[in-house]
Structure 1
Amino acid sequence: MFPIHDETTAPEASKPLLEQAKKNLGTIPNLEKVMAESPALLEGYVRLWELFDTTSLSLIERQVVYQTANFENQCEYCVPWHTKLSQLAGMPPNEIEALRRGAELSDPKLEALRRFTQSLILNRGKIVEAELKAFFRAGYCAQQALEVILGIAVKTMSNYTNSIAGTPLDKAVEKLTWKKPIISMKTNTELLGERSGCQQL
Structure 2
Amino acid sequence: MSTFNVPTREEVSANNQAIFDNLENALGFVPNLYATYAHSENALTNYLALSNAKTSLNAKQKEVVNLAVSQVNNCTYCLAAHTAIGKMNGFTEEQILELRNGEASFDEKLDALARLAKNITENRGATDATVVENFLSQGWTKENLVDTIVLVGDKTISNYLHKTTNVAIDFPEAQALETTEV
TM-score (norm 2): 0.90
Q: Tell me, yes or no, if the aligned pair for 2:104 and 2:110 is still in contact at 8 Å.
A: yes
1:108 is matched with 108
SS in 1 for 2:10: coil
Q: What residue ranges of structure 1 are gaps of 5+ in the alignment?
A: 186-201
Matching of residue 50 in structure 1 with residue 52 in structure 2: yes
Aligned counterparts of 1:17 and 1:156: Cα–Cα separation in 2: 22
For 1:56-95, what aligned pairs fall within 5 Å after superposition? 56-95=56-95
Aligned counterparts of 1:76 and 1:108: Cα–Cα separation in 2: 27
Opposite residue 60 of structure 1, the aligned amino acid is: K
Q: Tell me, yes or no, if the aligned pair for 1:108 and 1:138 is still in contact at 8 Å.
A: yes
SS in 1 for 2:169: coil
Aligned counterparts of 2:112 and 2:180: Cα–Cα separation in 1: 19
Aligned counterparts of 2:86 and 2:96: Cα–Cα separation in 1: 7
SS in 1 for 2:55: coil
TM-score (norm 1): 0.82
Please list the CA deviations of residues 155-201 of structure 1 after superposition, one character each: whole Å capped at 9, or x if unmatched.
1121111001011011xx23x3344654569xxxxxxxxxxxxxxxx
Q: Tell me, yes or no, if the aligned pair for 1:83 and 1:96 is still in contact at 8 Å.
A: yes
Higher relative contact order (CA 8 A, sep 6+): 2
Q: What residue ranges of structure 2 are gaps of 5+ in the alignment?
A: none
Opposite residue 80 of structure 2, the aligned amino acid is: P
Alignment RMSD: 1.8
Aligned counterparts of 1:20 and 1:164: Cα–Cα separation in 2: 26
Q: How high is the sequence identity, in percent, across the aligned residues?
A: 26
> Which has the larger Rg?
1
Aligned counterparts of 1:110 and 1:93: Cα–Cα separation in 2: 16
Aligned length: 179
1:93 CA displacement = 3.6
Q: Tell me, yes or no, if the aligned pair for 2:56 and 2:144 is still in contact at 8 Å.
A: yes
Please list the CA deviations of residues 115-135 of structure 1 after superposition, one character each: whole Å capped at 9, or x if unmatched.
111111111111132221111
